[in-house]
Structure 1
Amino acid sequence: MKIIKEIEKIKKIIKKIKMENKSISLVATMGNIHKGHLSIIKKAKEITNVTIVSIFINPMQFNNEKDIKNYPRTIEQDFNLLKKNNVDIIFYPKEKQILKKTKSLHTFVEVPYLSNILEGKKRKKHFRGVTTIIAKLFNIIQPNIALFGEKDYQQLFIIKNLVNDMNYDIKIISVPTIRHKNGLAISSRNIHLTKKQFMLALNIYKNLKYIKKEIKKRQKNIKEILLISRKKLTNKGFVIDLLKVSDRTSLAPFSKNSKKIIVFLSVIIKNIRLIDNIKVNL
């Protein structure tokens, strides 16, 4: 396993790989590698010759300095896990390698409408930060395939649009959400949960399954189902940041014509923000 920190060095390695006609997959991360990342890496290794994992804590996608300071940094543990899982290359650049200017002055890449709805409504410039750095990684690494988890479904959808709009010759593959045995989606933020908060967080997926079941029964309208779910969550002490049903093919609000839908749920437990979603086919 190679650990590369310089852009010019990884570009030379990429050039050599391309000359050997080997396919490249990219798994973009911010570190704190967990089972969710490892499931994506496993898929990447199945479909390409060379798997590259990037580790870069992206300051452009954080809304405040406190969040970025609190983001878990476990780099030595990450290296060991990635080595154990036979990753070929880790791209681990310093911030000044990726951001040549301050983030406020840096050129950005944005998918406008999709970045300002749902999660993006309150988290201003979050997705703009994501797409800017993803575009830079695509330019540097030039992967044949890039893989992203479905837990961040809006992000996945936005990146697919970015690739299409900017004519990147990259195939985007989505990987299903990995969950603990009790259903909670595995996330880097889970590390901040106390045992009591972890047990409380189990209600997130439980509520999503309730919503899915009720939607498929068609005995109540969606507005009523969401109202009941909202009450269940707030009664347990959650602060609900987002609870919406969208068309899965466009992220537009659910309509009577929607056949493939997705329920988005974002909650806050003692300043820890957790997100999840569930798909529903009608």
Structure 2
Amino acid sequence: MIIFKYADQLARYIQQQKAAQKQIGFVPTMGALHNGHIALIDRSKQDTAVTVCSIFVNPTQFNNATDYQLYPNTIEPDIMKLEAAGCDALFLPSIAEMYPQGTAGLEHYDLGYLETLLEGKFRPGHFQGVCQVMFRLLTMVQPHKLFMGQKDYQQCMVVSRLLQLMQSATELITCPTLREPDGLAMSSRNMRLSLHDRQIATTIYKCLTTIKQECNKGITWPVIKEKAEQLLTGAGFIIDYVELADATTLQPAHATMATIYQGPRVALIAAFLHEVRLIDNILV
């Protein structure tokens, strides 16, 4: 695996691979890699000839400075995992390489209503930060295919919107969420959970599976939502949202009876367990 710290060196490598008629797959990460990330590398290796991964903890997408400072940094084990997975190239830029003009007065991206609900509502400015770093990474890597995980459901929709705004030919491939044996969605933030909280964290997945089962039974959404919220608060969570949304637009997707809404739906949860914020979703 070749490690690049500078965009111009990476660009030369990408140009060489494309000149050899090789398709480029790209997996952007913030490090603290787990098997969910490695599954994205595996999928890229299946679908493309050259797999590029990036590790960059992007300061512009954190609402909370403490959250940014506490984000896990495990670069040596990350490199070993990528090498073992057969990743071809790792882009490991500095903040100065990604934001040479600094992080003030950055461009604004027209994300429409996606910025006003769910993650957009509870983390104002977060998706602008995501777009700022993804615009830069996509411009530098110029991949044929981009691989992201379904756990960050709304972020995948935002990146899809960004690709439209960029008029990019890159194809976004959204891959299923990988879970621990007890159902907890794999996440870099899980590293920050105590052993006790790690066990409690599975409550989110239990709530999602309950929501799915009860929606399929035709139980009314207010009843389902109240039950899920009681489960979460009873376990010690502070809830940002428990919602049922249209799977393609993220607009609310619950009528008086759950069965009245006929389109594909997704149930989404975001909640704090002490200082660690966890998100997850399930298709209904």
- Residues 4, 93 of structure 1: 8 Å contact kept: yes
Q: Aligned in 2, Cα 1:99/1:110: closer, same or farther, shift over 3 Å?
A: farther
- 1:198-218 deviation per Cα after TM superposition (whole angstroms, max 9, x unaligned): 111111101110011000000
Q: 1:210 is matched with which residue?
A: 210
- Residues 228, 242 of structure 2: 8 Å contact kept: no
In the TM superposition, residue 100 of structure 1 has moved relative to its aligned partner by: 1.4
Secondary structure in structure 1 of the residue aligned to 2:201? helix
- Residues 267, 274 of structure 1: 8 Å contact kept: yes
Q: 2:156 is matched with which residue?
A: 156
Distance 2:122 2:104 in 1: 19
Deviates more, 1:115-124 or 1:205-214: 115-124
Distance 1:6 1:110 in 2: 29
- Residues 58, 133 of structure 2: 8 Å contact kept: yes
- 1:212-262 deviation per Cα after TM superposition (whole angstroms, max 9, x unaligned): 1000000x2111110111112111211111111100011111144441000
Query: What's the % identity of the aligned pairs?
Result: 36
- Residues 149, 175 of structure 1: 8 Å contact kept: yes
Query: For residues 179-190 of structure 1, what are the structure 2 equivalents within 5 Å?
Result: 179-190=179-190
Distance 1:252 1:107 in 2: 26
In the TM superposition, residue 58 of structure 1 has moved relative to its aligned partner by: 0.3
Query: For residues 23-42 of structure 1, what are the structure 2 equivalents within 5 Å?
Result: 23-42=23-42
Q: Which residue, 275, 279, 282 being the options, matches 2:283?
A: 279
Deviates more, 1:224-233 or 1:33-42: 224-233
Amino acid at match of 1:231: Q
Distance 2:156 2:210 in 1: 24
- 1:84-109 deviation per Cα after TM superposition (whole angstroms, max 9, x unaligned): 11100000011100011232223343
- Residues 270, 277 of structure 2: 8 Å contact kept: yes
Q: 1:11 is matched with which residue?
A: 11
Q: 2:62 is matched with which residue?
A: 62
Q: 1:250 is matched with which residue?
A: 249
Q: 2:141 is matched with which residue?
A: 141
Amino acid at match of 2:77: Q
Distance 1:121 1:178 in 2: 26
- Residues 203, 231 of structure 2: 8 Å contact kept: no
- Residues 247, 258 of structure 1: 8 Å contact kept: no
Tell me if 1:236 matches 2:240.
Answer: no
Distance 2:231 2:86 in 1: 44
Deviates more, 1:227-236 or 1:147-156: 227-236
Distance 1:131 1:110 in 2: 10
CA RMSD of aligned residues (A): 1.1
- Aligned residue pair count: 279
- 1:173-205 deviation per Cα after TM superposition (whole angstroms, max 9, x unaligned): 011000000000010011111111011111110
- 1:22-66 deviation per Cα after TM superposition (whole angstroms, max 9, x unaligned): 000000000111111001110000000000001111001001211
Secondary structure in structure 2 of the residue aligned to 1:26? strand
Distance 2:249 2:224 in 1: 22
Tell me if 1:22 matches 2:22.
Answer: yes
TM-score with structure 2 setting the length: 0.96
Q: 1:97 is matched with which residue?
A: 97
Deviates more, 1:48-57 or 1:256-265: 256-265
Q: Aligned in 2, Cα 1:110/1:26: closer, same or farther, shift over 3 Å?
A: farther
- 1:129-176 deviation per Cα after TM superposition (whole angstroms, max 9, x unaligned): 001111111111100000000000000111112212331001100110
- 1:4-38 deviation per Cα after TM superposition (whole angstroms, max 9, x unaligned): 00011111111111111100000000011111100
Query: For residues 101-140 of structure 1, what are the structure 2 equivalents within 5 Å?
Result: 101-140=101-140
- Residues 22, 50 of structure 1: 8 Å contact kept: yes
Amino acid at match of 1:41: I
- Residues 108, 129 of structure 1: 8 Å contact kept: no
Q: 1:46 is matched with which residue?
A: 46
Gaps of 5+ in 1: none
Q: 1:268 is matched with which residue?
A: 272
Amino acid at match of 1:150: Q
